[in-house]
Amino acid sequence: MDKNKNGLHAPSAIKLPIFQDEPCCNAVKNDVTGATPRLDQPFITGTIPTKAGNVPQVQPVLTRRDRWGSVKARLGIDRMNYKVDPGLYALGNPDTSSPVLVTANYKMSFDRLRGGLPGLNAWILVLDTKGINVWCAAGKGTFGTEELIRRIAASGLQNIVSHRNLILPQLGAPGIAAHSVKKFSGFRVNYGPIRAEDLPAYLAAGMKATAAMRIMTFPLKDRAVLIPIEFVEAMKAFLIIAPVFLFLGGIAGSGSFGANAASHGLFAVTALLSAVIGGTVLNPLLLPYLPGRAFSVKGFFLGFVIAFFLLYLRGSNMQLWSGRAEAAAWFLIIPAVSGYLAMNFTGCSTYTSLSGVKREMHWALPVQIAAGAAGIVVWFASRLIAGE
């Protein structure tokens, strides 16, 4: 993928994978298991009769229930079960000449597609990606050639439309061998624009995308919307670890348990929470402006800034060994935590590649583990020194 100042050229620039085991497609083509989606799904409004049977009908207007479901998925609540039945759906009132749009069965992807096509009549072919969005599913192989061929056959699509064109999301290109789809199904793969809201213009132009439709940007609003799930997941670990630090901060030192916990234990909890916020909130918000290319380096930088700010406010006595050790500990722990959480964001961004992530993990994880472990030892040692 070629980078530019606005982001990345999306995967149309990636060489499509060769379908290695083509003979199996004959078996895939004849597998019609689970051909029809259930009609009791809440977004189904009726059915459309076709030569292949009745097809569930959906409308482009998203309900409050749809939006609330997206909010819960953003927060990580039952996210892996947030999916729709794979199969063929009718958007509006399509006929034999209406376009066929392909997407994943992650419900947010499905909703983003149908919600971005007001007034358009189309067929939506949903692949079984195990509830994973298009881009990630293409990398994992579930938004792939075999599944696409299987769904074309299972839906009886060749009997429903008079043309032989499919419009796939451009970000699904790495998982699809277009020549194999054509060979075993008779349908030609066309890659539409990156964003669903550009589809009406793309179709109106005779399935031709402008240069702007082919470029994947990653603006502030797109980065911000990814914060909740990363923050919630990190907080699950924080809520387990924080009481441990609060307790350890209280059992060592010259004062009483309560006084020590209120001072040193509470500061430790605040420092850990600040590291979590740095890695999961500040990192995506400030991503383009942080130094370094590796996400772990960006997180380390944030961690050092946070540690400096917190220790400045704390006003630790640097004349004492306990104060120096405490400062050194948090200069190790906070960047390690922030760097690790920032590195998790590589799976959400448009900036990274699989090979780059592997290289980064090879050196960054050992550094983060070593810094975090050393910081914990030094911090507890500082509490023991203070008690002498």
Going residue by residue through the chain, which has 388 residues, state the pLDDT in tens, using 9 for 90 and above.
333 333 333 333 333 333 333 444 444 444 444 568 999 999 999 999 999 999 999 988 899 999 999 999 988 888 888 999 999 999 999 999 999 999 999 999 999 999 989 889 999 999 999 999 998 888 888 999 999 999 999 999 999 999 999 999 998 998 999 999 999 999 999 999 999 999 999 999 999 999 999 988 888 998 999 899 999 999 999 999 999 999 988 887 677 888 888 888 999 999 999 999 999 999 999 999 999 989 999 999 999 999 999 999 988 777 788 788 999 999 999 999 999 999 988 877 766 666 778 888 999 999 999 999 999 999 988 877 765 5
Does 331 share its domain with 200? no
Q: Residue 246's domain spans which residues?
A: 221-387
d(CA 329, CA 369): 13
Does 91 share its domain with 231? no
Does 194 share its domain with 236? no
Does 324 share its domain with 202? no
d(CA 144, CA 173): 9
Domain edge (last residue) among 197, 217, 237: 217
Q: Say if CB 336 and CB 368 are below 8 A apart.
A: yes
Please return the burial class of 229, using the count of CB atoms within 10 Å of its CB with bins 0-12, 13-18 and 19+: middle
Does 211 share its domain with 271? no
Number of H helices, E strands in the chain: 15, 10
Domain edge (last residue) among 176, 191, 217: 217
Does 86 share its domain with 169? yes
d(CA 284, CA 1): 21
What is the residue type of 187?
F
Tell how far CA 316 is from the center of its chain.
40
Q: Which two tokens stand for residue 94?
A: 């399509």
Q: Which two tokens stand for residue 280?
A: 């999961």
Does 39 share its domain with 149? yes
CA angle 141, 167, 78 (to 5 degrees): 50
Q: How many domains does the chain have?
A: 2
Of the candidates 293, 347, 353, 297, the one whose C-alpha atom is nearest the C-alpha of residue 9 is: 353
Domain edge (last residue) among 159, 187, 217: 217
Q: Is 352 left (phi over 0), alpha (psi -120 to 50) or beta?
A: beta
Does 142 share its domain with 157? yes
Q: How would you list the strands of the sheet with 3-4, edge to edge?
A: 3-4, 7-9, 215-217
Does 268 share its domain with 342? yes
Of the candidates 232, 241, 308, the one whose C-alpha atom is nearest the C-alpha of residue 277 is: 232
Instruction: Tell me the pairing of strands 87-91 and 100-104.
Output: unpaired
Residue 158, domain CATH = 3.40.50.11600
Would you give the DSSP letter of residue 279? Answer: I
Does 57 share its domain with 92? yes
- pTM value is 0.79
Does 235 share its domain with 365? yes
Does 88 share its domain with 151? yes
